[in-house]
Every structure is written in structure tokens, then in C-alpha cells.
Structure 1
Amino acid sequence: MTAKTNRSKADKDPAGWMPSAETCTYLVDWTATKLCWNLSTEKTKQMALLELAEPCADSAVEYEAAS
């Protein structure tokens, strides 16, 4: 990720910002991070994430819980 791209992303979640390429990879990584650290997600953002992930049906989220 370039510095310019990172600045445009800021602290937005997938409902507020998506990369122009490799969307499924970004969504899988974002979801794995949330699950790893047992972080909550607001219901509206969760619904937006599920909608964005529809084309990624063959993607699997793998993670280990942080200790």
C-alpha cells in the first residue's frame, strides 16, 4: 500500500473504503484481524461487509485468536 493510498484510507473500515484491486483479499484480511483480536463490529457495518463480500464466496477466513 502506498503512502497516498494509506492516507486516503485513514481509519475507515471496508464499509467506508475499499482498495481498487484485490477486494476479496482485503476483506478476508480485515475480517481475520477482527476475529483474531475479538473486536466487535456495528450491525450496519457488518451488513455492509457481508454485501461487499458476496463476490468472494470462494474465499476462506483463517485466523488464530490472539492471546
Structure 2
Amino acid sequence: MASPAAGYRCTYVTDWVADTTRRGLTIDAAEHDALADRLTQCPDSPITVTPAR
């Protein structure tokens, strides 16, 4: 059974990736690995990047 926070974790990580991408920020290898690991647990969570104006 998934924890109640599982859905929030997926929202948090997808928002984090979208915001980082939108702002053109870089991440280090450890961040990449942690994000990739978390995203494997969120197969139905799209990442939507809104272009900056």
C-alpha cells in the first residue's frame, strides 16, 4: 500500500524538475540520481514546463 504522501512526493519532484528546467539551472550527479530514482516511482506523473516570459 502506498503512503498518503506518495502522491505529494510525485508532485513535488515533477514540479522541482519543471522549475529547474524552466530556469535553466543545472543539477549535480547526486541530484540527478535521486530525481531519476523518485521519478521511476511516478510513472503517470507528467512533467510540464511552462516557458518563462
Normalised-by-shorter TM-score class:
0.7 to 0.9
CA-to-partner distance for each residue in 1:11-52, whole Å, 9 max, x for gaps? xxxxxxxxx721100011111100110100001110111011
4+ residue runs over 4 A deviation: none
Structure 2 unmatched ranges of 5 or more: none
User: Number of aligned pairs?
Assistant: 48
Structure 1 unmatched ranges of 5 or more: 1-19
Higher RCO, 1 vs 2 (CA within 8 Å, ≥6 residues apart): 2
So what's the TM-score if we normalise by structure 1? Answer: 0.63
- Percent identity, aligned pairs only? 29
Query: Is structure 2 residue 17 aligned with structure 1 residue 31?
Result: yes
So what's the TM-score if we normalise by structure 2? Answer: 0.77
Aligned to 2:49: 63
